[in-house]
C-alpha cells in the first residue's frame, strides 16, 4: 500500500506542479479533469447508497463552474448557481421518481457545489497576485497535513477521533497533521517569498489548512460510510479514487482563497 502511494505521488506531483507553474489553460484542464472524475465518483456513491442522482446533469454543471472562472461578466456566477438548483428540479418534474425525487435532487445539487464550485477556487486562487505561490502552498501544505496525520496516527495513534465515521483516525494523528501542515506552510512560504506577509499570518494559515483538510477528509468518509463504500473509486493505486485525494483539498483551497482575500490583502 505504501509503495503504491509513493509511486502515485511520484507520477502525480510533477504533473500538478507543471499545471500550477504554467497556469491556464493547463491548470483549468487538469482541474476540470479532476472535477469530471470526482463528480462521477460522487454520484456513483449516491447510487451505491440507493439513490439515483442525475449524473450527466451534475457533471456538466460542475464543469461549467470551472469554465465560469474565465468569465469577466459578474452576472454569470449567480446565473450558474441558479441553474445548478433549478435544472435538476426541472429534471424531477420531467420524470418524477416518487419518494426518491427530493433525495435525488439533493445528491445532484450537492455534487455540483461540493466538487465543481469548491474546486473552481483553485483556478480563481491562481489568478490572484502571487497566485501561483498560494496554490502551491494550499496544495502541498494539504498533502503535508494528510501525510503527517497518516504516519503519526500509525506510529502513535491510540485515542480515536471519530470512530463512527472513520475508525482509523486518531487525535494523535490529527496533532501530527497540524504540526506537519504548519511546518510545510512556513517552509513553502520561505521558498516562494510569501513569508514577507509575516509569520503572524503564515503560521495560523498552516494550522487552519490542517483543520480544514481533516474536516474535508471526515466529510468524505461520512459520505462513503453512508454509501457502504471503502473508497470512492480505484483509479489511483494506493489512494483509492480521485475523490479520495480531493476530499481534503476541496476544503483547503476554499480556505486559502478567502484567507488571502480577507486576511492577507
Q: Which helix (H) or strand (E) holds 128?
A: none
Q: Count CB neighbours of 158 within 10 A.
A: 8
Averaged pLDDT of the chain: 89
Q: What is the mean pLDDT of residues 38-50?
A: 91
Handedness of CA 48, 52, 56, 61 (dihedral sign): negative
Domain locations along the chain: 1-23+130-265, 25-126
Inter-residue contact 139 to 184 (CB < 8 Å): no
Q: What is the pLDDT of residue 209?
A: 97
Q: What is the mean pLDDT of residues 230-254?
A: 75
> Over 60: is that where the pLDDT of 3 sits?
no
What are 160's strand-pairing partners? Answer: 170
> Over 80: is that where the pLDDT of 239 sits?
no
Q: Closest by alpha carbon to 48, among 107, 129, 88, 7?
A: 107
Q: Closest by alpha carbon to 85, among 66, 109, 67?
A: 109
Helices (H), 23-51: 26-48
Dist CA 82 CA 143 (whole Å):
34
Confidence of residue 221 (pLDDT cuts 50, 70, 90): confident
Identify the three-state secondary structure at position 51: coil
Distances (CA, A) of 2 to 33, 148, 176, 237, 238: 25, 14, 18, 10, 7
Kindly report, residue by residue over 107-166, the tens digit of the pLDDT.
999 999 999 999 999 999 999 989 999 999 999 999 999 999 999 999 998 999 988 888
> Over 60: is that where the pLDDT of 6 sits?
no
Inter-residue contact 112 to 62 (CB < 8 Å): yes
Cell of 90: 426541472
What are 73's strand-pairing partners? Answer: none
Q: What is the pLDDT of residue 238?
A: 47
Amino acid at each position: 500500500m505504501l509503495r503504491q502511494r509513493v509511486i502515485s505521488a511520484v507520477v502525480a506531483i510533477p504533473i500538478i506542479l507543471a499545471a500550477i507553474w504554467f497556469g491556464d489553460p493547463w491548470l483549468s484542464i487538469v482541474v476540470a479533469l479532476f472535477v469530471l472524475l470526482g463528480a462521477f465518483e460522487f454520484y456513483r456513491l449516491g447510487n451505491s447508497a440507493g439513490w439515483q442522482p442525475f449524473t450527466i446533469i451534475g457533471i456538466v454543471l460542475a464543469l461549467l463552474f470551472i469554465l465560469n472562472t474565465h468569465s469577466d461578466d459578474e452576472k454569470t456566477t449567480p446565473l450558474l448557481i441558479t441553474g445548478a438548483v433549478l435544472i435538476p428540479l426541472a429534471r424531477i418534474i420531467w420524470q418524477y421518481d416518487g419518494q426518491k425525487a427530493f433525495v435525488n435532487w439533493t445528491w445532484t445539487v450537492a455534487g455540483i457545489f461540493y466538487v465543481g464550485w469548491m474546486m473552481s477556487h483553485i483556478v480563481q486562487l491562481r489568478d490572484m497576485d502571487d497566485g501561483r505561490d498560494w496554490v502551491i502552498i494550499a496544495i502541498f501544505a494539504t498533502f503535508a497535513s494528510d501525510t503527517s496525520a497518516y504516519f503519526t496516527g500509525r506510529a502513535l495513534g491510540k485515542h480515536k477521533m471519530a470512530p463512527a465515521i472513520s475508525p482509523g483516525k486518531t487525535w494523535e494523528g490529527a496533532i501530527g497533521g497540524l504540526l506537519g501542515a504548519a511546518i510545510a506552510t512556513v517552509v513553502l512560504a520561505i521558498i516562494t517569498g510569501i513569508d514577507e506577509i509575516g509569520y503572524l499570518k503564515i503560521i495560523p494559515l498552516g494550522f487552519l489548512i490542517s483543520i480544514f483538510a481533516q474536516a474535508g477528509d471526515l466529510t468524505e468518509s461520512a459520505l462513503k460510510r453512508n454509501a457502504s463504500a471503502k473508497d470512492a473509486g480505484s483509479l489511483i493505486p494506493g489512494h483509492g479514487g480521485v475523490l479520495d485525494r480531493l476530499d481534503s483539498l476541496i476544503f483547503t483551497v476554499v480556505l486559502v482563497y478567502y484567507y488571502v482575500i480577507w486576511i492577507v490583502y
